[in-house]
Structure 1
Amino acid sequence: MGEHLIAGHSLDNRASVVALTHCLELLQGRAHIWDVWAVATAQEEETLGGAATSAFDLQPDLAIAVDVTWAQGPETPKHKAFPLGEGIPLGWGPNIHPGLHRAVKETAERLEIPVHLEPMPRHSGTDAYALQTARQGVPTLVVSIPLRYMHTPVEMVDLRDIRRAGRLLAEFVAGLEVGFRPRLTSDEP
């Protein structure tokens, strides 16, 4: 299988929880001024109920949905999936706040973490919509982890992608300053 690959069932959600846990572990040793909530939600593939109630209650200043996306496999067209171990897809579409996308992408570039553009022309298929539309609206982004053989007993993920996602999130949070929200809507870096 390879040194960095693992396979098993239910990695769809577990990979995201591991990335969030890695983010939180990295943040323990870093100064950051913002409170960070990591929420493992229920009903993401049905009603988005867990994300909707969490975002409504927490009233976040921004939200990042961490989920998996389709990884390339044998005979998968390259334009329909992402390679394992070669970077983190960042969602782009109507569920995605352009300023937040730009800020996270710039963080990835600074850290030399490879990222891919993941087109999401409609509902992203993640918790992002419920997060985005909570209360008065929340700037939202989707950070994805490529996963091969999704929704099967032998899902496969590259541990480097999980670590990269966690590190990217931690570094982004640690770099947030007090007045970050107005800069999300500005054309200035």
Structure 2
Amino acid sequence: MVVETGTEQAQSDPLAERLMRLSAATGVSGHEGEVARLIAGEMQAWADEVRTDRLGNCIALRRGQPPAGVRAPRVMLAAHMDEIGMVVSRIDKGGFLRVSPMGGVNVQTLMGQSVTVHAAGGPVPGVVGLKPPHLTTPEERKEFPRWEDLFVDCGLDEEEARSRIQVGDIVSVDARPVTLLSDRVAGKALDNRASVAVLMEAMQRLSELRHAADVLAVATVQEEVGLRGAEVSAFGLEPDLAVAVDVTFARQRMVGEPDVTELGKGPAIAWGANMHPRIVERLHQTARLHGVPFQIEVVPGRSGTDAWAIQVARAGIPTALVSVPLRYMHTPVEVVDLRDIRETGRLLAHFAAGLDAGLLGALSDWGVATVGR
């Protein structure tokens, strides 16, 4: 598949092309089938086994080669594959569709967007409409649009709309990914398809490395509506430790210090209560050893990522969080830097390949770690 971008970069860079396929695929929370099939197909090249569990998580296993008589440790690398979207909640007179959000959708970002209604008989194209500014009152112009003001127009009259579309049909934004300058890509659902691309990069690099650990790369479902896929997969796989991969806020206009990272400066390794200090310490050591640039992100409380659910699965799973910097989160034009994806994948591959008994033995030690020193 070649994604039309207006540039040649996506056709010449396998990572860019892969990321754009992931961005273009549909996978609204609870309905991740299309993107899950894409991920499973890609992972076949580097995994010994690829399967989907009963909730829809896509699990790729690459078996390790431990010394004879030694159990292979199990490390879980998790990135959610679902995206925010909408669901049809009502069909009005005139055939206009009313919709409700699935996940953290900002209604302001939807104005004038093309969308797709995923109906039983096939996809139906539509556009998001709103009252024209010429007809708004001065008071209305001061207010943000509300969900009850928004509608989707599929070009159907009421009878046609009711025959082709049902309440409950999923609606996704139809936004083509594009390549920008400086190795950057913009598109929908890069939260968190960028991190899924990281998992693929890590698995591809692991195929060239010797590793004792069994590596489980998991594309999780329903993160945007409650971390459900991570909770279920962590319980079922029972890893010895885990690293969740997500996106974090990158510097952009009107968003600056101290709460952001920089595009193109490498992965952000989180530090806080949700992260096991010994795993974080090893991630720092691995990055320095292999020349991977990285940033430190302070997350003092709840991370709001898959790491939060994984950490408290079963009797507790030692967990860390590594993030890809991203601009314009939860919009159809999220921006990431391909260099960050490559470096994050390289970091995780070397981390998994270097997993040893020393680190596993240290996971019961919650003393002060040398993070950032």
TM-score, structure 2 length as denominator?
Answer: 0.49
Question: How far did residue 172 of structure 1 move?
Answer: 0.6
Gaps of 5+ in 2: 1-179
The question of whether the paired residues in 2 share the 8 Å contact of 1:63 and 1:138 is answered with yes
Query: Identical aligned pairs, as a percentage?
Result: 49
**Corresponding position: 1:149 with 2:328:** yes
Residue 2 and residue 134 in structure 1: after superposition, are their counterparts in 2 closer, same or farther (change >3 A)?
same
The question of whether the paired residues in 2 share the 8 Å contact of 1:71 and 1:84 is answered with yes
Q: Pick which of 41-50 and 138-147 moved more.
A: 41-50
In 1: Cα distance, 2:275 partner to 2:359 partner: 17
**Which amino acid is the alignment partner of residue 137 of structure 1?**
G
The 3-state SS of whatever aligns with 1:24 is: helix
Question: How far did residue 112 of structure 1 move?
Answer: 1.8
In 2: Cα distance, 1:38 partner to 1:115 partner: 21
Question: How far did residue 188 of structure 1 move?
Answer: 9.3
**Which amino acid is the alignment partner of residue 227 of structure 2?**
L
In the TM superposition, 1:19-168 aligns within 5 A as: 19-168=198-347
Paired residues, what number?
189
Larger Rg: 2
Whichever structure has more helix as a proportion of its residues is 1
In 2: Cα distance, 1:80 partner to 1:188 partner: 23
The 3-state SS of whatever aligns with 2:223 is: coil
In 2: Cα distance, 1:44 partner to 1:90 partner: 20
Q: Could you tell me which residue of structure 1 aligns to residue 191 of structure 2?
A: 12
Higher RCO by CA contacts (8 Å cutoff, separation 6 or greater): 1
The question of whether the paired residues in 1 share the 8 Å contact of 2:185 and 2:335 is answered with yes
The question of whether the paired residues in 1 share the 8 Å contact of 2:262 and 2:325 is answered with yes
Question: How far did residue 180 of structure 1 move?
Answer: 2.6
RMSD: 1.6
The question of whether the paired residues in 1 share the 8 Å contact of 2:277 and 2:368 is answered with no
Question: How far did residue 3 of structure 1 move?
Answer: 3.0
Q: Could you tell me which residue of structure 1 aligns to residue 348 of structure 2?
A: 169
The question of whether the paired residues in 1 share the 8 Å contact of 2:281 and 2:369 is answered with no
Whichever structure has more strand as a proportion of its residues is 2
In 2: Cα distance, 1:180 partner to 1:92 partner: 18
The 3-state SS of whatever aligns with 2:214 is: coil
In 2: Cα distance, 1:11 partner to 1:82 partner: 16
Q: Could you tell me which residue of structure 2 aligns to residue 2 of structure 1?
A: 181
In 2: Cα distance, 1:179 partner to 1:107 partner: 14
**Which amino acid is the alignment partner of residue 351 of structure 2?**
F
**Deviation >3 Å, runs of 4+:** 186-189
The 3-state SS of whatever aligns with 1:39 is: strand
The question of whether the paired residues in 1 share the 8 Å contact of 2:279 and 2:319 is answered with yes
Residue deviations 1:16-41 (CA, integer Å, cap 9, x gap): 00000000001111110111111111
The 3-state SS of whatever aligns with 2:269 is: strand
Question: How far did residue 179 of structure 1 move?
Answer: 4.2
In 2: Cα distance, 1:3 partner to 1:93 partner: 32
Question: How far did residue 47 of structure 1 move?
Answer: 1.7
Q: Pick which of 62-71 and 107-116 moved more.
A: 107-116
Residue deviations 1:145-169 (CA, integer Å, cap 9, x gap): 0000111010000000000000000
Residue deviations 1:119-165 (CA, integer Å, cap 9, x gap): 11111010111110111111100000000011101000000000000
In 1: Cα distance, 2:186 partner to 2:303 partner: 25
